[in-house]
Structure 1
């Protein structure tokens, strides 16, 4: 199991940060060698299913995901989206949390974002978990930054 967490601060409002982070097709432009197909009609909600296909040609794998929790941010309430990964190669979950910064928190942004993920790659031994966690943190950290910067 590979687990990682990404924390970021953005000057965007919580609603805009949420919109950008839950625009599933936009993720494909940020994650190398990946394209995303949303299989259910929008808007996103509990039950939305999409597939991230990563790789080149025949050397690729699908990462199907389903939104199992969908709580957009609202005044006084943080946003939470939970994805369950249901693939043959990749399983696990991801959570995206978005909340307005509280008074007294360090300056530098209006909104706090947390992306937390736990991945299992079936063909890889558990000994490689630290390596895949580090790679996930770098790849998704960069993706979150780019999505938030627009």
Structure 2
């Protein structure tokens, strides 16, 4: 499951209108994600393009990762923990977010929509790794 969670091509396939790519830096561009590498979720909505640039702050596969949103539009963190449970896996995903230039109350009001979007996306990512029946 860990590999699927961090496969940027899978993210690009399952997140509508969005392409997720590594940002060329001296860290992690050739070998995939690791501490210090950056990636961008670029969303196109008609003529509008929004970049959600993130940096890998902690990388301890296959147990834990911490991602920090460092772009001009979005702030926040994503902390992911994966653990073995009764022959399966448990995924703990904790996220905070903000939109630069908007009051926190606006982000707070969007929590149900954002949460639903992440649940749907994570379900599709995890489902993409299940063997075909």
Question: TM-score when scaled to structure 2?
Answer: 0.84
Give 2:2's aligned residue: 18
Gaps of 5+ in 2: 24-28, 129-133
Q: Indicate if the aligned counterparts of 1:25 and 1:38 stay in contact, CA closer than 8 A.
A: no
The number of aligned residues is 123
SS in 2 for 1:38: strand
CA distance in 2, matches of 1:67, 1:46: 5
Question: TM-score when scaled to structure 1?
Answer: 0.75
Q: Answer 1 or 2: higher relative contact order, Cα 8 Å, separation at least 6.
A: 1
1:53 corresponds, among 6, 25, 42, to: 42
2:53 corresponds, among 57, 64, 69, to: 64
1:42 corresponds, among 25, 31, 45, to: 31
CA distance in 1, matches of 2:56, 2:120: 22
1:86 corresponds, among 63, 66, 70, to: 70
Deviations 1:26-84 (A, max 9, x none): 112222221112122223211221111113243121111111111013xxxxx101111
CA distance in 2, matches of 1:120, 1:35: 21
The alignment yields a C-alpha RMSD, in angstroms, of 1.6
Give 2:127's aligned residue: 149
